[in-house]
Chains A and B, each alone.
Chain A
Amino acid sequence: MAAPMLEIRDVHASVGDKPILKGVDLVANAGEVHAIMGPNGSGKSTLANVLAGRPNFTVTQGQVHYMGRNLLAMKPEDRAREGVFMAFQYPVEIPGVNNAYFLKSALNAMRRYRGEEELDAIEFLSLIEEKLKLLGLDESFTKRGLNEGFSGGEKKRNEIFQLLVLQPKLAILDETDSGLDIDALKIVANGVNMMRSPERTTLLVTHYQRILNYIQPDVVHVLVDGRIVKSGGNELAHELEKHGYAQFEAAAKVA
């Protein structure tokens, strides 16, 4: 049997000196969508960033395997080239770097790495055209600086745009739904659903159940105080919606 797409074993991680993750275990197979839910400060975003390789997020214990390989030993750019993508909670603005040229060079960096032919300008343009339309973005979007002066909603849509163009194997969405109005949320959800396939895995990090009305997860995990305290089906998300995180937080304290 093939190795799982992602296998997280007893991961402890600190941000600076502060321990945040205190033993996370999670296995996600190809074709699955996992939602990771939890209250503020539970470590959801830390987990996402540890997987993407953000500097200063130090794994102090445990292991992460991505398609059977040691993910933590890889540089962030190599993770990206191997097919790991994180949609940022707060995408950074990079003035002076064009949104589309940048994405083209990122895509070609990955294609080179995989030994694939690079795309020329015409191929790239035809590739992005339909994806822009899908996300309700007009062509001027490609002419602007990378996230420069984008509204919060535009930044999130740009992350999903990159996701659709780069076609990763493991997509990690770090609270992509936060701050979106209902229309933008549907657009983002639609983009994520388009990416669903037997070869891909999605980790959906979110505080709210709302986005799960549009993306049906296979597994829902509840992360509290740096540990996954409960995993279940989509019904778990509805339970959280009704009763909140209080019961799990109380349990975590007792433990």
Chain B
Amino acid sequence: MTDADPRQAYVDDFSKFEREAPGADLPWLRDLRRSAMARFRDRGFPTLKEEEWKYTSVAPIARTTFRRAPAASDGVAREDVERIAFHGFRGHQLVFVNGRLDPHLSGVGALPEGVQIRRLEEALEGDPALVERHLARHAAFDRQPFAALNTAFWEDGAFVHVPKGVAVPEPIHLVFLSKPQHEPTVVHARNLILIDEGAVAIVVESYAGWGDGLYFTNPVTEVVVGDEAVFNHYKLQRESEKAFHIGVLQILQGRASNVTDNSLALGGGLVRNDVNTWFADEGGELNLDGLYVVGGRQHVDNHTRIDHAKPHCTSFELYKGILDGHGRAVFYGNIVVHKDAQKTNAMQTNKNLLLSRDALVDSIPGLQILANDVKCRHGSSIGHMDEEQVFYLRSRGLDEETARSLLTYGFAAEVVNRVRVLPLRAALGAWILSRLPASAAVSDAVREGL
């Protein structure tokens, strides 16, 4: 490896970092970080030659030297957070600024007995055995180079544990804000979410940034959902326009568990989301939804993989994209039905609405079916606006701009309306409206509560 090799800076930094890293005194964690670093060093950044990275070049990330983000020196005001987060939110909130928990901006209310919502580093001190049992055991860093970097370099993140049979009714909001400095910075946020047997929880992850500085957010979230547990997860990504965001979400589902995940990618310059779910036992149900709104020169790549490893599980997947300007999106869906996973019911849909001539989408839906008694379907569409619909609305007195804006909103609404955290749904709806040319007229036409 030469100095020009993009891996070198990470290797050099690691030898310093590992001595001061959280849990540096825990041998298992030290070994874990070292093996992740070794894996990254051997493998390096992915290239376009790899099937999984065929449509997304990470060269801009590889050629940039990022510093681990320092604490934001001038602090962050509550108004800044409110501007970036969403209004009317009631629930528990952990706010991380440049990767560090800001206790003043965070607030965790009264919780049922045994529930933990805290920093991962704290959990490492409080319950190291539980963390050891799960950390990096699910999000495979041997196959995912950015997960390897995260595993080597993570400094903090959220730890959520809801014990057996407990329901946390209020949503748990994990906010990750980046306040870039003069030089490019990186945050490897690491979250571990454990929803035990029969427990119920809602988690919203929000990512956002300020200004036009260059930064890189490389989060990994691992979720273990126990038997008969119910888990709703949302990821709201509104990074600033120059940001790199490469995220991995790994969900493991127990018997007869019910999971919904909704990935809302609205910001960022170069974005890659990997969502991997694994049915580890029978009878699980998964709703995997996504919405990406891509404009300017943004590039957003959603990779999903659902492993039906056991029989009698159901997955419904719907990803929708709206593209404008020179926006570029990738949808790569893979549903793997293992040999013994009989009676699998899986449906995968990807729909893309192109608003400009220069926008581009690569949609690669996929099914790999090794069982013989299953019901699986997939579909993909990429298209411009339906002129029949435009004419219909105009013939009812709506001007053309309003008609087109309303149809764009309607396209997104299918995913937006699935968001069950109402302040989040409202914020998402408002954000989409604000992007439409005829936002006032459309707002009138879609406003709830007639």
Interface residues of A (CB under 8 A from B): 52-55, 75-77, 79-81, 85-86, 88, 91-92, 94-98, 100-106, 108-110, 113, 121, 124-125, 142, 145-146, 162, 166
Contacts and interface: CB of A to CB of B under 8 A. Distances in A.
A79 B396 CA distance: 9
Given A55-B387, A105-B445, A121 B410 contact: no
B412 interface: yes
B388 interface: yes
- Name B's interface SS: helix
Given A55-B391, A97-B446, A101-B450, A80 B397 contact: yes
Interface residues of B, number: 32
A76 B410 contact: no
Contact of A105 (B407, B412, B413, B444): B444
A104 B396 CA distance: 11
Given A97-B409, A121-B449, A92 B392 contact: yes
Nearest to A118: B444
B446 A91 contact: no
Nearest to A90: B388
Given A76-B391, A94-B407, A102-B396, 12 more contacts: A55-B387, A75-B394, A77-B397, A77-B399, A80-B395, A96-B410, A96-B413, A98-B446, A100-B450, A101-B444, A104-B444, A106-B398
11 contacts: A76-B395, A81-B397, A85-B395, A91-B392, A92-B389, A96-B409, A101-B444, A101-B450, A105-B398, A109-B399, A166-B396
Given A101-B450, A162-B396, A108 B444 contact: yes
B397 A113 contact: yes
- Name A's interface SS: helix
Q: Which of B392, B399, B417, B449 is packed against the most chain A CB atoms within 10 Å?
A: B392
B177 to A, nearest CB: 31
A95 B351 CA distance: 13
Given A101-B446, A101-B447, A104-B450, A86 B441 contact: no
B397 A92 contact: no
A27 B96 CA distance: 72
B223 interface: no
Contacts of B413: 95-97
B406 interface: yes
A85 B397 CA distance: 9
B400 interface: yes
A218 to B, nearest CB: 25
Contacts of A105: 398, 441, 444-445
A97 B390 CA distance: 13
B429 to A, nearest CB: 11
Contact of A124 (B392, B402, B410, B450): B450
A97 B406 contact: yes
B42 interface: no
A109 B398 contact: yes
A123 to B, nearest CB: 11
B410 A97 contact: yes
Given A101-B446, A104-B450, A53 B393 contact: no
Nearest to B406: A97
Given A53-B395, A77-B397, A97-B445, A92 B386 contact: yes
A96 B445 contact: no
Contacts of A106: 393, 396-398
Q: Which of B396, B441, B449 is packed against the most chain A CB atoms within 10 Å?
A: B396
B410 A88 contact: no
A102 B446 CA distance: 7
B414 interface: yes
B450 A94 contact: no
B411 interface: yes
A227 B397 CA distance: 30
B135 to A, nearest CB: 40
A106 B413 CA distance: 19
Contacts of B445: 97-98, 101-102, 104-105
Contacts of A124: 450
A52 to B, nearest CB: 5
A177 B409 CA distance: 32
Interface string B428-450: 00000000000001001111011
A81 B398 CA distance: 9
A77 B389 contact: no
A77 B397 CA distance: 4
Contacts of A81: 397
A94 B395 contact: no
A100 B399 CA distance: 18
Contact of B394 (A77, A96, A108, A125): A77
Contacts of A53: 394-395
Nearest to A91: B392
A150 B186 CA distance: 51
Given A92-B388, A105-B445, A76 B407 contact: no
Nearest to B399: A77
A106 B387 CA distance: 18
Contacts of A104: 444-445, 450
Contacts of A98: 445-446
B88 to A, nearest CB: 21
A54 B414 contact: no
Contact of B392 (A88, A113, A166): A88
A54 B389 CA distance: 11
A109 B411 contact: no
B450 A96 contact: no
Contacts of A97: 406-407, 409-410, 413, 445-446
B389 A96 contact: no
Contact of A110 (B386, B393, B397, B417): B397
Nearest to B409: A96
State the 4 A-B residue pairs at the shortest beta-carbon distance, nearest first: A96-B410, A96-B413, A105-B445, A80-B397
Contacts of B407: 94, 97
B449 A94 contact: no
A157 B444 CA distance: 24
